[in-house]
């Protein structure tokens, strides 16, 4: 079984600043994936970044990067140069290797202030 915990219900950041969203997880799987999804007010679930657990190198996607600490089961998301369009709910998720069982955290509502 997998569980995902996001301990920050809400966060805010000034435009152009950097913010880090926390996520911890627990899994009995040896191989698994970790994800961050963004859900703006439009409700669409958008993949932000993806990490394969067997890869030690932290994933990066432009302004988005993760700090993956496998031993600590921690998977935080760093957003650099925050933009107004980054305002959204952010969900951390873990998935089994065959991707058939994805579990989500409770989400963090991020507000980017002008």
Tell me which residues in 29-48 interact with another protein (CB under 8 A): 33, 35, 37, 39, 42-45, 47
**Judged by CB under 8 A, does residue 5 bind another protein?**
no
Structure-token pair, residue 95? 């998935």
The nearer residue to another protein, 56 or 100, going by C-beta atoms, is 100
**Judged by CB under 8 A, does residue 99 bind another protein?**
yes
Nearest alpha-carbon partner for 32 in 103, 108, 98: 98
Nearest alpha-carbon partner for 83 in 37, 36, 14: 14
**Judged by CB under 8 A, does residue 97 bind another protein?**
yes
Structure-token pair, residue 78? 């760093």
d(CA 42, CA 27): 31
Residues contributing to the site for another protein (CB under 8 A): 33, 35, 37, 39, 42-45, 47, 50, 89, 91, 95, 97-104, 106-107
């Amino acid at each position: 079984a997998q569980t995902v915990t996001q301990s920050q219900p809400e966060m805010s950041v000034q435009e152009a600043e950097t913010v880090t969203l926390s996520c911890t997880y627990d899994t009995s799987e040896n191989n698994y994936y970790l994800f961050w999804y963004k859900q703006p007010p439009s409700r669409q679930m958008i993949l932000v970044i993806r990490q394969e657990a067997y890869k030690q190198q932290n994933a990066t996607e432009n302004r988005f990067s993760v700090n993956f600490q496998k031993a600590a089961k921690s998977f935080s998301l760093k957003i650099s140069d925050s933009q107004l369009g980054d305002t959204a709910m952010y969900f951390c998720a873990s998935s089994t290797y065959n991707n058939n069982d994805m579990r989500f955290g409770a989400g963090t509502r991020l507000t980017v202030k002008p």
